[in-house]
Structure 1
Amino acid sequence: MNVLVDSRPHQDATARMPLIRGILEARYKRRFFAHRELAYHLYRGVYDSFDDAQASIPPGNASGYDNNESADLYRERTRRVFINDYPMIHWLGRFFAEGARDVFDVGGHIGIAYYAYQKYLSYPASLRWTVMDVPAVNAAGAAWAKEHDAPGRLGFADDIASASGADVLFAAGSLQYLSYSLADALSPMPRRPRFLLLNSVPVHMRQSYYTVQNIGTACCPYHVTAEREFLGGLASLGYELQDRWENPQRYCIVPFHPELSLDRYFGFAFRLAT
């Protein structure tokens, strides 16, 4: 099912009529929380905060990635890359050439990028790659590493504060799940990472908001950030934008809110000014 096409009836003028819109929203709510397909994700609602988005998820629905079903996702991605990975591979290779050896991977699941990218990059002998994720995912990653990480370069952490002192903070499609902004996380670090390498970031040109995403195994609060807020927050910490790219294969359709829906995501490479 094409979720982009499927969402269009909610966006037309009829859906803006109060009575009809109420009926459509109730019907979509039932469909949203019953969704179990892994092939595509659904989005619902607009909220001012992570907590408000979290509170909208019924107690009977699994929430977030800290569960066995969500932890078992994405195994096939350890063996392949996608077109939007190539800018990340390019910049990571450049950062390695400049001496980067310590990568802190925010929301890297079981180490998806670590495994997939080694086919395309010569990893430094002294590489240390640390994934920060939720407990269920970290446990699954540690178990997977016993059989698949012969060099023993992969480790796991549960707090983004551990990124202090890393050479590269790497985040691919994960910043939107955090209850805090990246700038807020970096601000108190004694030694901020020299490089930021960020991919699949949902950025709206004008407005920040939270929605809820159903990934098939669970529902997750999901943060879309205004462009000025996202870039300005990092610039205020001394990060200089090196590159920016678009990923039109990713989109976020929020039914009943066409003005907030996204038709593409973005990637960024930053360097800390010296």
Structure 2
Amino acid sequence: MPDVQARAAVSRTARRLVHESTLEMTPAYVSAARQRPDALPQGTTIFITWLTGFAFGQTLAACRKVREWGCQPVPHLPARAMADLPMLRMIGQAVTQELHTDTVLLIAGDKAKPAGCLADTLALLQTGTLQESGIRNIYVAGHPEGSPVMQQPGQALSVLRQKQEIGQRDGLDIRIVSQLCLDPAPLLQWERHLRANGITLPVHVGLPGPVPPRMMMRYGMRCGVGPVLPFLKAQRALMHRWSCTSTPEQVIRPVAQVMITTPGALFRGLHFFPCGAVARTLGWREAGGMPRQAYAKGLMSA
């Protein structure tokens, strides 16, 4: 394929990934919104957080409102927030029966001590409770730059392999949402490592919204949105890298390139963490991703 055609194909794939991306919102943002944001197309998949110290009812109410907007809600379910299996069963039934969805995001959660017997998402999946409730589509976390918890060599890969086996056994569609990615190099290396070791789970790349790195840091440390908080805590040593200009384009285009050129590539989509800038992220998403110069200008005016 000539270079011009190849670059055009990468650009088309990158724009499609941005337009079809999922994104994350907090219950507070959703409850404060009087109507569906103008730049949010109907049918968009919205992940709704369940933050430490808040009841699941707030997440459930936000999911209902997102459903009223004509979008697809995906509630977070932190394993360490579950007091017991009856609580997990009740939540699973609320998701399937009240929200009429069979899709959730499983995270370990940032509680230092589990509320019950579930210390992580693998333990939660092994109970079979969500499967019994009718949950069939499950997102789990991936860690291209290392997990703050799983630090033994091969541990993260072993956990993903066990989740994949549970999915195959129970007829689940399990997908990976990665932690925030600012550098394509470790992301691409991680994806190759997964493929080389028999992991076939689709990967959705986690990216920050169009915000300056310092704003992302402040927001993540304050709110602990999704995997943002543990990631930021674990990556403090790399903060010198975050002071440099970084744009989603720097990650999206290499991902698109791999999708086009690599048979069996695991990349399937993008997931945005707006980090407090939902409107800006939606506008950028609607535009299919600004050119780097326009993006950088937006950061300077933030």
| Interval containing the TM-score (normalised by the shorter chain) | 0.3 to 0.5
TM-score (norm 1): 0.34
TM-score (norm 2): 0.32
Give 1 or 2: higher strand fraction: 1
Higher RCO (CA < 8 A, seq sep 6+): 1
